């Protein structure tokens, strides 16, 4: 097939978007939500394993689990607070950056 014949075909040309691509998070940065989901899943699996392999009586095991879950809950709350603080700082930074690039009124 010649070049002229190829040009005559009714194939749409690929569209080129003139808008810049959205910025993505730096490599290795997955966000707080996926971390928290993984953390919660790990905690649940750990609790299940502890129940299956517990060497102590039921009352003792439950007491240990309550203590452990309180510690996990406190740790998760701390990490969630840290993630929230990081997100708020990043939001403020991006807002300042956007304002520098917008025309002034």
Q: Which pLDDT does position 95 carry in this prediction? A: 93
Which tops the pLDDT comparison, 40 or 104?
40
Does residue 20 have a pLDDT over 60? no
Average per-residue pLDDT for the chain = 76
**Within a domain: residue 41?**
yes
Structural domain including 103 reads: 32-105
Does residue 14 have a pLDDT over 70? no
**Within a domain: residue 92?**
yes
CA-to-CA distance for 14 and 57, rounded, in angstroms? Answer: 69
**Within a domain: residue 77?**
yes
Q: Which pLDDT does position 59 carry in this prediction? A: 83
User: How many domains does the chain contain in total?
Assistant: 1
**Within a domain: residue 94?**
yes
**Within a domain: residue 1?**
no
**Within a domain: residue 55?**
yes
**Within a domain: residue 6?**
no
Q: Which pLDDT does position 29 carry in this prediction? A: 52
Q: Which pLDDT does position 8 carry in this prediction? A: 53
Asked if 64 contacts 56 with a C-beta cutoff of 8 angstroms, the reply is yes
**Within a domain: residue 5?**
no
14: phi then psi, degrees, rounded to nearest 5: -65, 140
Q: Which pLDDT does position 9 carry in this prediction? A: 54
């Amino acid at each position: 097939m010649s070049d002229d014949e190829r040009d005559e075909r009714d194939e749409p040309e690929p569209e080129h978007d003139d808008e810049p691509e959205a910025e993505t998070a730096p490599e290795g940065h997955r966000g707080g939500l996926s971390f928290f989901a993984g953390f919660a899943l790990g905690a649940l699996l750990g609790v299940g394993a502890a129940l299956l392999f517990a060497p102590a009586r039921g009352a003792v095991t439950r007491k240990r689990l309550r203590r452990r879950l309180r510690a996990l809950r406190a740790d998760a709350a701390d990490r969630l607070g840290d993630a929230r603080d990081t997100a708020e700082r990043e939001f403020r930074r991006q807002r300042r950056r956007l304002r520098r690039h917008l025309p002034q009124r």
